[in-house]
Chains A and B, each alone.
Chain A
């Protein structure tokens, strides 16, 4: 497909964006990401374990920044200050790379986005020249505000992180799509391939997922399924679905029948 999506200054070939958490090992991570066809791959920033063997393979050895567009995320941050600090460290880690995924989550069992802290962090990061892809709730007003601040993509959840419940909020997602000009990417909640297709059929520019692939019995196979699901959903959206009807409508002509 020659279809691309423009996120800030980045032109992406794949509408599937994937995370690198929860895999069995780095080898499986690498194979699943390869199978997904994704070019944007998220990563976390954490303290280096000083006790470890310095020759232990590093995520960046498997997911090369030369081949993939790395998207450092701020998952685990509960305040705007922590999120901004994490983004600055990520920029240094990746030699000046400006694209980040902002995610400030609440300390609740829903891991719901803390939109107040998210808005504050987004303002600071945009001021500092970051290109911010922002994880948020499905509240259309907050999505509009995040776009106004200057975020390059708005990423509402489809369901809570890691829940695999599928899109629980298609009307809110559609409302956000109607209101925003920047790409809307569903981030979190997808459980299986059909969930990803539903998001794409609504008109989303892409889907970001991690657990649905990493926690599948066969992550590499699920990665391929997701790649196809995203592509199918996008094609169906562009093709324009037929209208729903209440009653049957025969597919074969009803004239010229033999008697």
Chain B
């Protein structure tokens, strides 16, 4: 299936959001995730199942004023 992550489309063969983050090496990192416009609490990563056309935003803290 095809999903959009941070504005880029990706072909993935996974089921849960947790699987995606694990594959990307992001699980356990200090990040926040929005799934189709809704914030996903860290405790829910394994419960969110990804579907074709889903949109993810994954953010982190960076330097800023």
Interaction A to B: yes
A residues whose Cβ falls under 8 Å from a Cβ of B:
19-23, 26, 29, 42-48, 50, 54, 58-60, 70, 72-73, 75-76, 85, 88-90, 92-94, 161-162, 188, 208-211
**A42 contacts B64, C-beta separation under 8 Å:** yes
With contacts A20-B64, A46-B60 known, what are 10 further pairs, Cβ within 8 A?
A20-B62, A21-B64, A43-B62, A47-B59, A48-B31, A75-B65, A92-B32, A93-B31, A162-B65, A188-B65
CB B55 to nearest CB in A, in angstroms, measures: 13
Closest A residue by C-beta to B7: A47
Q: Find chain B residues with CB under 8 A from A23 CB.
A: 63
Take A54-B25, A89-B34, A93-B31 as given contacts and tell me if A59 and B6 are in contact as well, using a CB distance cutoff of 8 Å: no
Closest A residue by C-beta to B10: A50
Once bound together, how far apart are the Cα atoms of A54 and B65, in whole Å?
A: 24
Take A54-B26, A58-B29, A89-B39 as given contacts and tell me if A43 and B61 are in contact as well, using a CB distance cutoff of 8 Å: yes
**Per-residue interface assignment for chain B, residues 18 to 55, with 1 indicating a CB less than 8 Å from any chain A CB and 0 otherwise:** 00000011100111111000010110000000000000
**A89 contacts B32, C-beta separation under 8 Å:** yes
**B64 contacts A48, C-beta separation under 8 Å:** no
A/B interface sample: 28 pairs, CB < 8 A: A19-B65, A21-B65, A22-B65, A42-B65, A43-B63, A44-B61, A44-B64, A45-B60, A47-B7, A48-B26, A48-B59, A50-B5, A50-B6, A50-B8, A50-B58, A58-B29, A58-B61, A59-B60, A59-B62, A60-B30, A60-B61, A72-B61, A75-B65, A88-B39, A89-B32, A89-B59, A93-B59, A162-B65
Task: List the count of A-B residue pairs having beta carbons below 8 Å apart.
Answer: 100
Q: State which size class the interface on B falls in.
A: 20 to 34
Take A45-B60, A50-B6, A90-B32 as given contacts and tell me if A161 and B26 are in contact as well, using a CB distance cutoff of 8 Å: no
Once bound together, how far apart are the Cα atoms of A21 and B42, in whole Å?
A: 27
Closest B residue by C-beta to A89: B32
Q: Which of A19, A47, A161 has the most chain B CB within a 10 Å cutoff?
A: A47
Q: Find chain B residues with CB under 8 A from A22 CB.
A: 63, 65
CB A128 to nearest CB in B, in angstroms, measures: 12
**B58 contacts A58, C-beta separation under 8 Å:** no
